Amino acid sequence: MIAALTYVPRRTPLGRAGALAASAYLGAFVAVAFAFSHPVILAADALAVVIAGLLAGTGRALAVSARFAAGLGVLMIVTNAIASQRGETVLVRGPDLPVLGTVDVTAEAIAEGGILALRVGIVIAAFAVFTAAVDPDRVLRLLRPIARRSALTATLVVRLVPLAAADHARLRDGAALRGPAAAPVSRSSLVRRLVAGSLDRSVDAAAALELRGYAGTAPGRARKLPRSPVDAGFWLAAAAIWGLAVACVATGAVTYESYPGIELGLEPLGVALVLALPPLAALPHLVGGAWR
């Protein structure tokens, strides 16, 4: 699971794009997921993220995020259906509980839980594509002028978590090869050895960083990386998505209400956003492929 989310250099357009352009591009899909609750908009946004991930060569990361989001989504739907006592369409008349009272399950509560689950799934998938396709070193350079220490910490975490997962796999395989007569290795013992190894590696990494000058004063200006020629396509797609989303919010072209009854509204500008999301997700990849 961790290996699928680990950054691997790819020759796809998103893999060759700058960190800022890639962040604006993938961040546009996240913004749409948070800005709208209309199921058609969210479905088009989810399709756009899948297209972006597949064209970026991060299909395994999408699969991992889908499995995680599916379990979390079911939990969110069930929780909202039980906890929310709103809605006029009662599907199940629940029992009377001492503290909660009558627990009814309504169609509106299930729909609202599904909207929340779909929104969370889109965000998880977008961040999975970002983690697997965008170079963390470029992200570090991007964030260094704003928060140098926080950016370095985040980059080290991204690099060290896959190593910890590999250590766990090796320890587990070694414990399985000890033979049938050996006492079984408990999970707590594996965790202790994994934590001890991770602490040793952290000390070594800290010493290496100190020797490389990270403990001293940072230079005033870092060398800028050359701008990637594929950035223009991602900036264009991001600007179009952000512009359509802002226009829809400003004009009220997309409306959705779960309570007390489900109400949907999608004006022509909202339809334009729905139709534009998948092509805009594919546009920078198709344009960037011409620069190979």
| Burial environment of residue 83 by CB neighbours within 10 A (0 to 12, 13 to 18, 19 or more) | exposed
Round to whole Å and give the CA distance between 54 and 78.
30
Round to whole Å and give the CA distance between 90 and 101.
15
In 3D space, the residue among 147, 165, 161 whose CA is nearest the CA of residue 202 turns out to be: 161
Phi and psi, residue 59, nearest 5°? -65, -40
Q: Model-level pTM?
A: 0.76
Query: Given this model, what pLDDT does residue 194 score?
Result: 82
- The sign one gets for the Cα dihedral 113, 76, 89, 43 is positive
DSSP per-residue codes, 212-238: TTTTSPPPSSPPPPPPPTTHHHHHHHH
Q: Regarding beta strands 254-257 and 263-266, do their DSSP bridges make them parallel or antiparallel, or are they unpaired?
A: antiparallel
Structure token digits, residue 254: 């997309």
State the chain's mean pLDDT as an integer. Answer: 83
Please, what's the b/e burial string for 248-263 (b: 16 or more CB within 10 A of its CB; e: otherwise)? beeeebbebebeeebe
Write the pLDDT tens digit of every residue in 47-70.
999 999 999 999 999 999 999 999
Residue 277 above 90 pLDDT? yes
Write the pLDDT tens digit of every residue in 72-92.
999 999 988 888 878 888 888
Residues 6+ apart with CB under 8 A from 99: none
The total number of residues written for the chain in this structure:
292
Structure token digits, residue 12: 């796809």
Write the pLDDT tens digit of every residue in 128-152.
999 888 887 787 777 666 666 666 6
Query: Given this model, what pLDDT does residue 198 score?
Result: 80
- 43 and 118 Cβ atoms separated by less than 8 Å: yes
Query: Given this model, what pLDDT does residue 151 score?
Result: 61
- Percent of all residues in the chain with a pLDDT value above 70, rounded to a whole number: 83
Query: Given this model, what pLDDT does residue 291 score?
Result: 47
Band of pLDDT at residue 96, cut at 50, 70 and 90? confident
Write the pLDDT tens digit of every residue in 161-220.
777 777 878 888 888 787 777 777 787 888 888 888 887 887 787 777 777 666 565 555
- 132 and 26 Cβ atoms separated by less than 8 Å: no
Residues 6+ apart with CB under 8 A from 105: 81, 82, 90, 91, 92, 94
Domain ranges of the chain: 2-144+228-287
- Percent of all residues in the chain with a pLDDT value above 90, rounded to a whole number: 38
Band of pLDDT at residue 104, cut at 50, 70 and 90? confident
